[in-house]
């Protein structure tokens, strides 16, 4: 759940803008770069796909960066991020 001024809000009711802002903070914990100009795409109930770039050694040192798809599951109390292989980050 996310907390707003004196209220508790379920992650399932996040707007796309709120989700984008939340993703920006969350993906940095997983060493990913997310482009705020690209909105997540709803692909199912409480499931959004977005693209991010893993900031691994190849990307940071040699500039060989790849864009990959990730999924944000918003149906629970917290947002869960998964990669394309359904692995939780």
- pLDDT one digit per residue (tens) for the chain, 89 residues: 444 433 334 455 678 888 888 898 889 899 999 988 889 999 999 999 999 999 999 999 999 999 999 999 998 888 999 999 989 98
CA–CA distances in Å: residue 11 to residues 54, 62, 78: 24, 37, 6
8 within some domain: yes
pTM, rounded to two decimals: 0.79
Q: Quick one: pLDDT at residue 36? A: 84
43 within some domain: yes
Whether the CB-CB separation of 52 and 67 falls below 8 Å is answered with: yes
Query: Which tokens is 28 given?
Result: 């940095």
Greatest alpha-carbon span in the chain: 46
Question: Which residues have CB under 8 Å from 25's CB, separation 6+?
Answer: none
Domain count, the chain: 1
88 within some domain: no
Q: Quick one: pLDDT at residue 82? A: 95
């Amino acid at each position: 759940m996310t907390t707003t001024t004196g209220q508790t809000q379920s992650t399932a009711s996040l707007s796309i803008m709120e989700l984008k802002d939340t993703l920006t903070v969350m993906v940095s914990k997983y060493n990913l770069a997310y482009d705020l100009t690209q909105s997540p795409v709803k692909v199912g109930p409480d499931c959004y796909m977005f693209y991010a770039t893993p900031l691994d050694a190849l990307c940071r040192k040699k500039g060989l960066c790849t864009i990959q798809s990730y999924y944000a599951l918003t149906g629970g109390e917290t947002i869960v991020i998964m990669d394309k292989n359904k692995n939780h980050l």
